[in-house]
């Protein structure tokens, strides 16, 4: 098994680049079919989804826009724990078909937060596309409309996903060995 060392850890290939490419094309084809007659706006969640978003967006045939957001988490001043906020949305989403693009859905906390936030702008529809989904970690009853691969609860890097800021440039997806 091909492996890489990132900092103190060894990772081995879990999903090879060719398989990712093929799956991204399938998801693109599905979106082209489902969203025909709409002019969707894709919302890529930085940093992790940048590579998936670029590849998926290239498959989109209809007139479409893409924009980029970031979810910043910080500790609240009260005892409420982590507070999230969305930064970067300048577009008016009212009446639009919105497709959120994420790298991975783990607990689903981020996904549910993002869907709720974007719905505040009264879009026609909010769809969610995630390259990866960890079904066993999910703790919200949410439906991810487009999933590339369901994966077990392993820590993954590559194709946009990082370990401590590194490994995003790997073409394959690796898991902790």
Residues classed as catalytic: 106
As a whole number of angstroms, the distance between CA 9 and CA 108 comes to: 26
108 lines the binding site for ligand 5GP (CB under 6 A): yes
**Closer residue to Mg ion (CB): 48 or 148:** 48
**Residue 95 beta carbon to ligand 5GP: minimum distance, rounded to whole angstroms:** 28
Beta bridge partners of 41: 65, 98
75 with 58: CB under 8 angstroms? no
59 with 87: CB under 8 angstroms? no
162 lines the binding site for ligand 5GP (CB under 6 A): yes
Q: What's the gap between Cα 170 and its chain centre?
A: 17
DSSP 97-161: EEEEEEEEESSSHHHHHHHHHHHTT--SEEEEEEEEE-TTT--S----SEEEEE--S--EEBTTB
172 lines the binding site for Mg ion (CB under 5 A): no
110 lines the binding site for ligand 5GP (CB under 6 A): yes
Contact with ligand 5GP (CB under 6 A) among 24, 31, 100, 105: 105
**Residue 76 beta carbon to ligand 5GP: minimum distance, rounded to whole angstroms:** 17
**Residue 38 beta carbon to ligand 5GP: minimum distance, rounded to whole angstroms:** 26
Contact with Mg ion (CB under 5 A) among 24, 41, 103, 126: 103
**Residue 95 beta carbon to Mg ion: minimum distance, rounded to whole angstroms:** 27
Residues that bind ligand 5GP (CB under 6 A): 48, 102-111, 155-157, 161-162
């Amino acid at each position: 098994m091909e492996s890489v060392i990132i900092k103190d850890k060894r990772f081995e290939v879990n999903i090879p680049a060719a398989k990712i490419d093929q799956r991204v094309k399938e998801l693109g084809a599905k979106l082209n079919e489902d969203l025909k007659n709409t002019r969707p706006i894709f919302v890529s969640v930085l940093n992790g989804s940048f590579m998936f978003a670029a590849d998926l967006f290239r498959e989109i045939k209809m007139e479409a826009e893409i924009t980029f957001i970031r979810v910043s988490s910080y500790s609240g001043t009260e005892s409420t724990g982590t507070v999230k906020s969305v930064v970067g949305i300048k577009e008016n989403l009212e009446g639009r078909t919105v497709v959120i693009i994420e790298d991975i859905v783990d607990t689903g906390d981020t996904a549910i937060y993002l869907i709720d936030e974007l719905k505040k702008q009264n879009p026609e529809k909010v769809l969610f596309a995630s390259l990866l989904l960890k079904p066993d970690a999910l703790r919200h009853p949410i439906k991810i409309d487009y999933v590339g691969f369901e994966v077990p609860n392993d820590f993954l890097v590559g194709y946009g996903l990082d370990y401590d800021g590194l490994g995003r440039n790997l073409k394959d997806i690796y898991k902790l060995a």
